Amino acid sequence: MTSTVLRLARPALFICDQQEKFRPAIYAFDHILKIASKMLQASKILNVPVYVTTQNNKALGEICSELDISNAKLKLDKTLFSMHTPELERALQPKSSVAITGIESHVCVLQTTLDLLARGHQVYVISDAVSSCNREEIPIAIARMRQAGAKISTSESFACLCDLIN
């Protein structure tokens, strides 16, 4: 019997726009913060680089204080939907395996996923760590990302895949 163990190439964790101003508007916001926090802790243990964005932080504020982003390799403010910026592309290793968490699944998470896939990265949408203002948007966005070539995973599954290579 041959082994079908999946090995991740150059794992990375993206934290997309998890800002305090969004808390009252986003479905299950506290839950996705808890999962993102767990993934940040795992990233420290497993030496997985972390990339963080805020959406227009002058108007919408900083990342939620519950998230310890002290080990972030790159923290950017953006005014476009996608996290994929020239600065991020320079910092991210080619053909990385990127786990994406954050908001909103049908806007910034989707656009980031599509941009990363177009540039040859493998994307893992962490289904228990993405959300939107409208609950109904989440499964539709996840289906669209899957159709585009993203892998749909959970936080624990992705962390286990990272642990296999370290």
User: CA-based angle 164:120:39, to the nearest 5?
Assistant: 40
Q: Name, in order, each residue with C-beta under 8 angstroms of 89's C-beta and a sequence gap of 6 or more.
A: 119
User: By three-state DSSP, how is residue 99 classified?
Assistant: strand
Q: Is 68 a catalytic residue?
A: no
Q: Which of 16, 64, 78, 162 is catalytic?
A: 78
For residue 30 the two structure tokens come to 């506290």
Q: Is 108 a catalytic residue?
A: yes
Contact (Cβ atoms closer than 8 angstroms) between residue 98 and residue 153:
no
Q: Which of 17, 64, 128, 162 is catalytic?
A: 17
For residue 27 the two structure tokens come to 């479905």
Q: Which of 16, 64, 108, 162 is catalytic?
A: 108
Catalytic residues: 17, 78, 108
